[in-house]
Amino acid sequence: MSAVATAGRDDGRVLAPGATLGILGGGQLGRMIALAAARLGLRTHVYCPDPDSPAFDVSAAHTVAAYEDEAALRTFAAGVDAVTYEFENVPLATATLLSAIVPVRPGVRALEVSQDRLVEKRFLEGLGIAVAPFRPIDGPADLADAAAALGLPAVLKTRRLGYDGKGQTMLREGFDAAAAWTAIGAAPAILEGFVPFSLECSIVLARGLDGGTAAFDVAENHHEHHILRRTVVPAAMAPETAAAAAALGVQVADAIGHVGVLTVELFLVRDASGERLVANEIAPRVHNSGHWTEDAASVSQFEQHVRAVAGWPLAAPRRFSAVEMENLIGADAQAWREIAGEPGARLHLYGKREIRAGRKMGHVNRLR
């Protein structure tokens, strides 16, 4: 992008019913944000380069254009009252350009912190939050020393653009440095010491325009093939640990000056000294592990996000029931008829036309 815009200051505006919220990204998260906005009387305009975006089906307006298309971004910004995003890899230049015209919530800072694993780890460490020990890796020659310092096994991860286990490989005794470097796409990386966790969990919370916060109950997450398969709430942990997770999430959101929903993925480690949390990564957005809130809580993560970015009061989330969220991945979604007929099951489908292996097609919340 040619022009280097300076990030604008958020003017603190509140979006009244009838106003338009712009959403960058047209996947299922954007779709569910748009549905929640509609319920509150807000219109949405979704901006996404993919002409086949699931969120387009449920929003008043959409733009198909690249995130680098300045003219399209300016037109989009002129037609909305605030902009939010459904993914953390929005280019910084895009968010900066938009923020000079219209409030972007969450802001550019949330993107800076979460787009680069090295920046993210240092940020968390700077807050005194426990993270896996790590070393920056700029080439295969760095691996031997880093592995010696951290011990094996260790996890090599690209600094940028990794998700669902992509851009990631495990190093074990006798590893081949050149092969590992190639496996992650030969890009700047970090090596992380292996965390011997008992379970993976996440804290999803909202921070409002006034700085108020409201956390959902901690979610316990189970992955298969690096993709979230199931989320169970309540999570199997001591109440003090759950409270610590919520406090950690609030600390991160406050430090970023976040507005909107934010998620911190965590490892729970159990050892002789009890339970402790290790932060893995920050998602400055609504999150798959928060989908249970749609059916088992008094406010969903999507509505809470809309409330926050629109400058509305946050709701106080209350969980009604124990719940298990299962992702419908690839061909799983073909069982829609059986799931729809299952007592206690709440089916959510994303309207994606093409079923592909590993593609998130929908999810089901089962109240327990």
What residues line the site for ligand AMP (CB under 6 A)?
A: 132, 155, 162, 165, 168, 192, 194-195, 200, 223, 226, 265, 280-281
- Strand 260-271 vs strand 227-233: parallel, antiparallel, or unpaired? unpaired
> For residues 45 and 157, which CB has a smaller minimum distance to ligand AMP in the complex?
157
Q: How many residues does the chain have?
A: 368
> For residues 88 and 265, which CB has a smaller minimum distance to ligand AMP in the complex?
265
Q: What is the largest CA-CA distance in the chain?
A: 61
Distances (CA, A) of 60 to 19, 80, 303, 306, 350: 12, 12, 17, 16, 17
- Write the CB contacts of 31 (distance below 8 Å, at least 6 apart in sequence): 54, 55, 57, 58, 350, 351
> For residues 245 and 347, which CB has a smaller minimum distance to ligand AMP in the complex?
245
Closest distance between ligand AMP and the C-beta of residue 265, in Å? 6
> For residues 155 and 325, which CB has a smaller minimum distance to ligand AMP in the complex?
155
DSSP, collapsed to helix, strand or coil, labels residue 265 as strand
Closest distance between ligand AMP and the C-beta of residue 329, in Å? 16
Q: List phi, psi (to 5°) of 149.
A: -70, -40
> For residues 213 and 263, which CB has a smaller minimum distance to ligand AMP in the complex?
263
Closest distance between ligand AMP and the C-beta of residue 325, in Å? 16
Number of H helices, E strands in the chain: 11, 17
> For residues 223 and 368, which CB has a smaller minimum distance to ligand AMP in the complex?
223
> For residues 64 and 130, which CB has a smaller minimum distance to ligand AMP in the complex?
130
The CA-based angle 164-165-167, given to 5 degrees, is 120
Closest distance between ligand AMP and the C-beta of residue 314, in Å? 27
Q: Which candidate, 23, 30, 38, 27, places its Cα nearest to that of 76?
A: 23
> For residues 155 and 308, which CB has a smaller minimum distance to ligand AMP in the complex?
155
Closest distance between ligand AMP and the C-beta of residue 11, in Å? 35
Closest distance between ligand AMP and the C-beta of residue 332, in Å? 20
CA 340, CA 321: separation in Å to the nearest integer? 19
The CA-based angle 162-3-5, given to 5 degrees, is 80
C-alpha dihedral (234, 235, 239, 243), degrees to nearest 10: -100
Closest distance between ligand AMP and the C-beta of residue 198, in Å? 11
**277 token code pair:** 């949390």
Closest distance between ligand AMP and the C-beta of residue 117, in Å? 8
